[in-house]
């Protein structure tokens, strides 16, 4: 087993912090341009070593193939208000020339068995290191606030039950995932109203701070 996890994970740490900074900057640009802001907030993490080891075992990934076969050691998550924002961001990400998209998984159109919904992009991101440039695989997950609420709670329950939910809980979680999706659809249906209100609100707040 690896002895130097800190050294191995350093380029992943650099990848997550650079990507987080870039998507946060994108949010600022949207805000400044007075358009609807499709990014609510951005988080990033490097997969903890125990999760890497667990996934290596579960997926039969050899240590020598870790860099090429484990795509989510570097992970960035973007939270949006509306489902449409997700697809707008996907289009923007595809067009960027500081990364390349190598795979897409639409778990919104095709939700997982658990009820999980999100849009996943597997990307290749070039980081500049002491000894030159290296392409790092990273996973970008894009979801609405409602999808994130569900996934966060389900994820912590997963830890508690070690991935094996009692039947009743599994059914309830699926029902909750549907309810979250219904909420997203309702919010989308009144999105123009919400957007106008938010623009008006931020305009007024801008004026207030100048007084
Ligand atoms: P963490 O702590 O978020 O990193 P696998 O990793 O083998 O399960 P795969 O096919 O490699 O799956 O990748 P997939 O399914 O595209 O993405 C895996 C990640 O998506 C998970 O990472 C979660 O973040 C999220 N995810 C996928 N399915 C579910 C689900 O049913 N519930 C929740 N809450 N999240 C899910 P990790 O490593 O599990 O967790």
Q: What is the pLDDT of residues 21-77, one digit of tens each?
A: 999 999 999 999 988 999 999 999 999 999 999 999 999 999 999 999 999 999 999
Q: Are the CB atoms for 34 and 7 separated by under 8 Å?
A: no
ipTM computed for the complex: 0.91
* 38 Cβ inside 6 Å of ligand 1: no
For residue 91, report the distance from its CA to the centre of ligand 1, in Å.
22
CATH number at residue 189: 3.30.460.10
For residue 154, indicate whether it is catalytic.
Answer: no
Domain range spanning residue 138?
A: 5-210
pLDDT band with cut points at 50, 70 and 90 for residue 195: confident
- Looking at residues 186-208, what average pLDDT do you find? 77
CB 20 near ligand 1, within 6 Å = no
Is there an atom of ligand 1 within 6 Å of 93 CB?
A: no
Least confident of 50-54, 109-113, 183-187, 194-198: 194-198
pLDDT digits (tens, 9 = 90+) for 95-151: 999 999 999 999 999 999 999 999 999 999 999 999 999 999 999 999 999 999 999
Of 109, 99, 90, 74, which Cα lies nearest the Cα of 39? 90
Cα 116 to middle of ligand 1, angstroms: 9
Does the C-beta of 112 come closer than 6 Å to ligand 1? yes
Question: Beta strand 41-46 with 132-144: parallel, antiparallel or unpaired?
Answer: unpaired
Domains: count for the chain: 1
CB 99 within 8 A of CB 93: yes
């Amino acid at each position: 087993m690896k002895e130097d996890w800190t050294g191995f994970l350093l380029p992943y740490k650099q990848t997550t912090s650079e990507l987080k900074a870039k998507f946060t900057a994108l949010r600022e640009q949207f805000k400044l341009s007075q358009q609807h802001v499709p990014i609510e907030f951005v988080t990033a993490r490097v997969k903890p070593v125990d999760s890497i080891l667990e996934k290596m075992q579960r997926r039969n990934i050899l240590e020598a193939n870790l860099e090429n076969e484990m795509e989510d050691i570097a992970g960035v998550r973007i939270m949006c208000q509306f489902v449409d924002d997700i697809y707008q961001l996907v289009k923007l990400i595809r067009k960027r020339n500081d990364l390349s998209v190598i795979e897409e998984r639409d778990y919104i159109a095709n939700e997982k068995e658990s009820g999980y919904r999100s849009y996943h992009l597997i990307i290749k991101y070039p980081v500049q290191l002491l000894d030159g440039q290296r392409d790092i695989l990273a996973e970008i997950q894009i979801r609405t606030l409602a999808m994130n609420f569900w996934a966060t709670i389900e994820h912590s329950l997963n830890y508690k039950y070690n991935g094996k939910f009692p039947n009743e809980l599994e059914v309830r979680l699926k029902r909750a995932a549907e309810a979250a999706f219904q909420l997203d659809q309702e919010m989308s249906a009144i999105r123009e109203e919400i957007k106008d209100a938010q623009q008006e609100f931020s305009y007024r707040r801008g004026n207030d701070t100048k007084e």
